[in-house]
């Protein structure tokens, strides 16, 4: 099969197309023929080497944490009442070395694979798992959001933030969100009062929050203590290092466990199936355009999720075969 891989950390030029064996599944896994895969900041952070202290790197690594595809094989312990051959599913890769930028991926069937929500496109179904689970686990699992709470979401125009706004809206919260001035309209359309971080200091625009979701870190994290009410919760995905001032401000500082609670992926997809919970897909690219995809992601200005249509590889092969037989 074809896969995007790298065999050492570095800049984008370590990425290449490789031909690894199609993965063999264990009894608890399913084999998925990937239709589309999304990129997440984790993919370029890991490739660049900046997460080397947190993860044991075993090369080669296939990037891509999530995607959407068709089940082609089921391990013998997989619950056949839930998953079936031929089913279209969204999934989160259970091992970071075996990512979704590949024609086939083996994924743990327990909690990491869910049927697609019918109202999402193929690209949206590929884009939603990691960001949806991150937003859900931050607001619902960790911060225990309730109706009427005042919630500030940092990075409201980003992959996680844009879904967090929609989830907070579903729970009936009063929502503020930071973003660049270029994205104010987009964030307000999702249901938040936008605070453009490049024009104003958010600490002068909002106070007395029950929850702040930090997707940015650094100074944004430290300033966020000031806008929480006593007893409020500052939940974050990846903010270290920062000064933990929670005791001084009388608030809780809680790191979100995203991949430790993949069971919530089903809640995310249920919500996507019943109400408007949609990821913003900014770019859909062919798998051969992987360098451009990473460049866009790393720029921080992609303006939505980046999705690679992995089945573009099979379609190209079909076209080549057809032209050879003509």
Ligand X SMILES: NC(=O)c1ccc[n+]([C@@H]2O[C@H](COP(=O)([O-])OP(=O)(O)OC[C@H]3O[C@@H](n4cnc5c(N)ncnc54)[C@H](OP(=O)(O)O)[C@@H]3O)[C@@H](O)[C@H]2O)c1
Contact call for residue 279 and ligand X (CB under 6 A): no
Please pick, from the candidates 22, 48, 97, 180, the single residue that binds ligand X as defined by CB under 6 A. 180
**Rounded least distance, CB 162 to ligand X, Å:** 8
Q: How many CB atoms lie within 10 A of CB 284?
A: 20
Residue 161 CA to residue 39 CA, distance in Å, equals: 16
Residue 110 CA to residue 78 CA, distance in Å, equals: 8
Q: Which is nearer to ligand X, 202 or 313 (CB)?
A: 202
Three-state SS for 202?
helix
Contact call for residue 139 and ligand X (CB under 6 A): no
Beta strands 113-115 and 88-92 are antiparallel
Contact call for residue 131 and ligand X (CB under 6 A): yes
Please pick, from the candidates 99, 129, 132, 155, the single residue that binds ligand X as defined by CB under 6 A. 155
Residue 236 CA to residue 257 CA, distance in Å, equals: 9
Please pick, from the candidates 179, 206, 211, 284, the single residue that binds ligand X as defined by CB under 6 A. 179
Q: Give alpha helix (H) positions in 171-264.
A: 184-190, 218-224, 246-249
**Rounded least distance, CB 133 to ligand X, Å:** 8
Q: Which is nearer to ligand X, 176 or 313 (CB)?
A: 176
Contact call for residue 99 and ligand X (CB under 6 A): no
Contact call for residue 164 and ligand X (CB under 6 A): no
Contact call for residue 154 and ligand X (CB under 6 A): yes
Residue 49 CA to residue 168 CA, distance in Å, equals: 34
Angle between helices 265-274 and 122-136 (to 10 degrees): 120
Q: Which is nearer to ligand X, 24 or 301 (CB)?
A: 301
Residue 189 CA to residue 304 CA, distance in Å, equals: 14
**Rounded least distance, CB 102 to ligand X, Å:** 21
Residue 300 CA to residue 160 CA, distance in Å, equals: 13
Query: Nearest-CB residue to ligand X?
Result: 158
Angle between helices 122-136 and 159-170 (to 10 degrees): 70
Contacts of 174 (CB under 8 A, 6+ apart): 148, 149, 150, 151
Residue 230 CA to residue 249 CA, distance in Å, equals: 7
Q: Which range touches ligand X (CB under 6 A), out of 37-45, 72-80, 95-103, 205-213?
A: 37-45
Please pick, from the candidates 215, 224, 264, 309, the single residue that binds ligand X as defined by CB under 6 A. 215
Stretch 225-244: interaction string toward ligand X, x if CB under 6 A: ------------xx------
Q: Which is nearer to ligand X, 88 or 226 (CB)?
A: 226
Contact call for residue 224 and ligand X (CB under 6 A): no
Residues 40, 65: contact at Cβ < 8 Å? yes
Q: Which is nearer to ligand X, 41 or 69 (CB)?
A: 41
Contact call for residue 38 and ligand X (CB under 6 A): no
Q: Which is nearer to ligand X, 87 or 180 (CB)?
A: 180
Contact call for residue 197 and ligand X (CB under 6 A): yes
Q: Which range touches ligand X (CB under 6 A), out of 22-30, 111-119, 172-180, 263-271?
A: 172-180
Contact call for residue 296 and ligand X (CB under 6 A): no
Contacts of 247 (CB under 8 A, 6+ apart): none
Residue 32 CA to residue 105 CA, distance in Å, equals: 5
Three-state SS for 277?
coil
**Rounded least distance, CB 134 to ligand X, Å:** 4
Residues near ligand X (CB under 6 A): 40-42, 130-131, 134, 154-155, 157-161, 178-180, 183, 197, 215-216, 220, 237-238, 258-259, 300
């Amino acid at each position: 099969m074809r896969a995007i891989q790298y065999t050492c950390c570095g800049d984008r030029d370590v990425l290449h197309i490789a031909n690894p064996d199609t993965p063999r599944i264990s009894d608890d896994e399913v084999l998925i023929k990937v239709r589309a895969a999304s990129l997440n900041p984790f993919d370029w952070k890991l490739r660049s080497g900046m997460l080397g202290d947190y993860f044991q790197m075993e090369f080669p690594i296939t990037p891509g944490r999530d995607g959407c595809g068709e089940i082609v094989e089921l391990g013998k312990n997989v619950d056949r009442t839930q998953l079936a051959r031929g089913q279209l599913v969204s999934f989160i890769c259970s091992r970071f070395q075996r990512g979704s930028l590949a024609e086939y991926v083996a994924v743990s069937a327990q909690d990491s694979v869910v049927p697609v929500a019918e109202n999402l496109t193929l690209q949206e179904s590929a884009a939603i798992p990691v960001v949806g689970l991150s937003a859900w686990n931050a607001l619902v699992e960790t911060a225990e959001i309730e109706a009427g709470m005042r919630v500030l979401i940092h990075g409201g125009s980003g992959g996680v933030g844009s879904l967090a706004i929609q989830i907070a809206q579903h729970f009936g919260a009063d929502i503020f969100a930071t973003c660049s001035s270029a994205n104010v309209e987009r964030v307000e359309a999702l249901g938040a009062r936008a605070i453009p971080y490049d024009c104003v200091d958010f600490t002068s625009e909002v106070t007395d929050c029950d929850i702040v979701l930090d997707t940015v870190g650094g100074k944004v994290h430290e300033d966020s203590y000031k806008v929480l009410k006593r007893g409020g919760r500052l939940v974050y995905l990846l903010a270290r290092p920062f000064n933990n001032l929670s005791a001084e401000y009388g608030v809780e500082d809680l790191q979100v466990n995203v991949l430790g609670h993949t069971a919530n992926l089903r809640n995310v997809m249920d919500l996507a199936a019943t109400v408007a919970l949609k990821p913003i897909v900014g770019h859909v690219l062919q798998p051969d355009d992987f360098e451009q995809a990473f460049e866009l992601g790393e720029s921080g200005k992609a303006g939505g999720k980046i999705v690679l249509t992995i089945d573009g590889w099979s379609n190209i092969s079909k076209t080549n075969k057809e032209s050879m037989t003509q």
